[in-house]
Structure 1
Amino acid sequence: MPVRAHCENPDRRTLADLIREYRPGYSLEQRFYKDPEIYKAEIKSIFLKHWMLAGHVSQIPEAGDFFLFEFDVESVIVVRTKEGAVKAHLNVCRHRGSRICLEKEGRSKLLTCPYHAWSYDLNGKLMTARQMGTDFKKADNGLHPVHVELVGGLIFVSLAEKPLSLAGMKEDLADVFETFGFDNMKLAAQKSFPIAANWKLAAENYQECYHCAPSHQEYAKVHAMALSKEAFAAHREKYLAALAGKVRTQESPYYFDQAKAGEEGYQYARNPLLSGMESGSLGGKGIAPLLGTIAEFDGGASEFMVGPVSFFLIYNDHMVGYRFTPTSHETCCCDVFWFVRGDADEGIDYDLETLTWLWDITTQSDEEIIVNNQQGVNSHFYTSGRLSEMESFEQHFLNWYLSSMKDSISNTSKGQ
């Protein structure tokens, strides 16, 4: 008897049904990765609510410097004002909605719409609008503001009307930010990787290292995370005992499903590299000046995560940032950032190709993995699969995701 395709009977279940029927310990059902209506709910309940990494202050050192942060249909102008502040505005003219900044980055004294020449100052205040009538008020037509928070030099933005608080994270991890010199870093490089897959598959891939040993040979030669669950636990226990307080080892609760009410989720942990390894590089050797108050390589690296799509790996000599953003229900983008100490000079203190090598090659491999994953999920015969013991972080992500979507359904039913 031939196998019958699952698509013969259309799935008429609601989002609430799908969430209620989810089986812990398994991957999500197909519609979570393919349904454009579910995607629309995600944008509203996740991407218009949570904090996301936009960039770094070193990208806008002078007044008038700006760059764009974009996802889905949204575009945000991040700009340095004349007063030296970092501000963000929606890239939407208040006249008839045209994009104002068309270049990805640049410098300008005013933000001028190319359509009808409405001009705004760097704080978003409307300065000129021709022939608008005596009843028109410029003060009521400034650019829509976007909330900005700085974590050291990292720029986070939230499009929420009332954003979640980052105060708890800043207080809890103040020692981490000081140790690694978050106030004294600069962006050395940034690369974007378009991926033909739903954003959750990209985020989920980052959550687990079950695939690291078979898929990332370069990574597996440096990071102990690629070991089996038992081998990694033993190696980590030995590493933390030997660390003896040189760098903070106290973990923050895994953030996806354990964030406090009204606060943005975050997580911090210190993990070992393989024995003899110093940094994320070819051969595992140090490749840049030590960060912050770090005095020596101690054979480890820190995981720092904030919000649902912003992740950081902090080596002793540089930091790598990852950001996963949707571009449609079928596509997403992975942006990778490399940070070094603020006074480090390229070509003297570090070589850019050497600095970016490991996570460039790893991300290229991940892109192929994630696209293959999406193609399999697209099959009429895809069903949810059992998660392994090495995919516990992914389970946390799925718990958080489903809770967020459930809350969005509840708020919609209440008319919020």
Structure 2
Amino acid sequence: MKYNPVEAMKPNLYKYVFPYDEIPKIKFNNIQLPMDIPESIWITDTTFRDGQQSMTSMNTEQMVKIYDYLHELDNGSGIIKQTEFFLYSQKDRNAAEQCMSRGYDFPEITSWIRANKDDFNIVKSMGIKETGILMSCSDYHIFNKLNKTRQEAMKMYLDIAYASLENGIVPRCHFEDITRADFYGFVVPLAKNLMDMMNDSKINVKIRACDTLGLGVSHVGVELPRSVPAIIHGLRYYGNVPSSSIEWHGHNDYYGAVTNSTTSWLYGGASVNTTMFGIGERVGNTPLEAMIIEYGQIKGNTAEMNLELINEIEKFFEKDLDYAIPPKTPFVGKEFNVTKAGIHADGLLKDEEIYNSFDTRRILGKPPLVAINSYSGISSIAYWINSYFNLCGNEKIHKGDNRLIPVKNKIDSEYDSGRTTNISSEEMEKLAKLYIFNNYQNERAI
């Protein structure tokens, strides 16, 4: 080791930030760091690794199907660059082998192992070109879980990274619990040692900054270890890590997964690690679909990505994996762009852009809808019918159309009888066909 950690007689647990008997603290130093977005940024996926730990285990066929979906969603753009697999069970190895046999450029198949050479032999036997290696960074893990000194932990991590490089395999070093780690005392010397190994071997070495408990803070002027800008900036300028080798892996414990991931892009990290629909340990990981939207906002486009496919993936998760996506989940939930306010419905009827920030119908295959309930007026009913049946031009129903009156009366009678739930799409479809389209067809025949 050219760069030694700052050894500690006892663990530095940052108790003034993480007192445990209170909510964690945010400490400010008011240091302003420069934003520096890499020219090329991308997304990686851990649905099959971190994500799968949190839900019903997938079988091989389901994993291969989701891999196909990821490939079709990326659609040759290279934005969803990689996905990682466990390799411990025969099921996982079979799934990885079948996915590799597809021959897709994107997403590339990678793996994840613990920091021991027995696990590394599995990677070698599979012919996988890159593997994640667990390198816990905080003293919570080094002292209290591994029962090692910082020096011993660093030597163990570098030994396994060296073995990876000896075999021509890219090591992706997972700096676990980086938001509670001694950044200059352990993270920086570990990163610098790894970068020296990269330069000597001429093989890429990656660092995944893992916000294991979701403690990262995206605000500027925040102290380490919680500052996402300072972590990314520090890896680049003190750890000598190039942007292309920095990846952020966030959790959503404090509702910060998406903003922290975006912040890592803004301050120089090229890659953000995600899962489909944010599945993952405890409250989940950074949602892949959310970072696609963030990518589009930063870069001004989503390249050739096929975003409408997200609807199909959502249905697969709910039907085949029995995973219920909360209906109000942004961009993917069934009600994410459903308005319940009558005045909003009237605005949508006049101009969809008033209450819809982009064309969700064209981009996501999800038209904006209104919920039909006891507060719904004629405008809501007219907008629901137009949107649900995709009526355009002269076929659109306007709120002055007399055919809407019996529909409104039927809905009002439901609530006058004590109903409290929304009118379902199936019920609205029947009412529209009975009172609108039946009459409409008769009128056209005349």
- Give the shorter-chain TM-score range: under 0.3
Larger radius of gyration: 2
TM-score, scaled relative to structure 1: 0.22
TM-score, scaled relative to structure 2: 0.21
Greater strand share, structure number: 1
